[in-house]
């Protein structure tokens, strides 16, 4: 999955798409900060789900992950709630990975499921290989290996 051409602006509560040499167009949020289905609050990350032609957004201020259709949508759908999400990524099979900065973990959600499986962290805060201290973003390669960037430890695990 790719994010090329999409940005999120935490202070502006919008997701934008940029075409080459053009001005951006708001395609998610943009209705002030809030928790309604047509609003975002501190969106931190966005990923394109090509299979559904939608954006998946880490809506951090609302502690939720939302799916927003790319074309002519007026609101998003909450797909995961009660999560301190900061990063999202989708792998080649359509599974969603969400970085939770408070629970210090990365969870994998199979497509269509609301319960996730911990794939990194959740062993307390620390610097050991099986611990995270400040997870930020994740990357999943073609072999489904998960890489997590961490701010405080200045590392990728």
pLDDT tens track for 88-144: 999 999 999 999 999 999 999 998 888 999 999 988 898 888 889 999 999 999 999
CA nearest neighbour of 85 among 119, 58, 66, 47 = 58
pLDDT at 47: 93
Average pLDDT over residues 53-73: 93
pLDDT bucket at 55, cuts 50 / 70 / 90: very high
pLDDT tens track for 21-49: 556 777 788 888 888 898 999 999 999 99
- Report the distance separating Cα 133 and Cα 141, nearest Å: 22
Task: State how beta strands 96-100 and 135-140 pair.
Answer: unpaired
- Report the distance separating Cα 146 and Cα 121, nearest Å: 11
Report in angstroms the alpha-carbon separations of 77 from 9, 20, 102, 118, 135: 19, 29, 23, 23, 25
Contact call for residues 114 and 80 (beta carbons, < 8 A): yes
pLDDT at 32: 81
Rounded to two decimals, the pTM is 0.82
Q: Which domains does the chain have, with CATH numbers?
A: 1-82 (2.40.10.500), 84-157 (2.40.10.500)
């Amino acid at each position: 999955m790719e994010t090329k051409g999409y940005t999120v602006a935490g202070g502006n509560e919008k997701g934008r798409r940029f075409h080459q040499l053009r001005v951006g167009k708001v395609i998610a949020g943009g209705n002030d900060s809030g928790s309604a289905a047509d609003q975002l609050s501190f969106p931190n990350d966005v990923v394109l789900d090509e299979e559904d032609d939608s954006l998946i957004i880490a809506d951090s201020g609302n502690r939720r992950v939302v799916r927003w259709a790319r074309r002519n949508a007026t609101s998003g759908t909450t797909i995961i709630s009660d999560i301190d999400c900061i990063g999202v990524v989708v792998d080649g099979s359509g599974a969603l990975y969400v970085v939770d900065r408070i629970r210090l973990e990365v969870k994998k959600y199979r497509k269509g499921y609301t319960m996730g499986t911990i794939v990194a962290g959740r062993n307390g805060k620390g610097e050991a290989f099986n611990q995270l201290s400040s997870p930020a973003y994740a990357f999943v390669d073609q072999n489904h290996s998960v890489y997590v960037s961490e701010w405080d430890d200045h590392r990728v695990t």
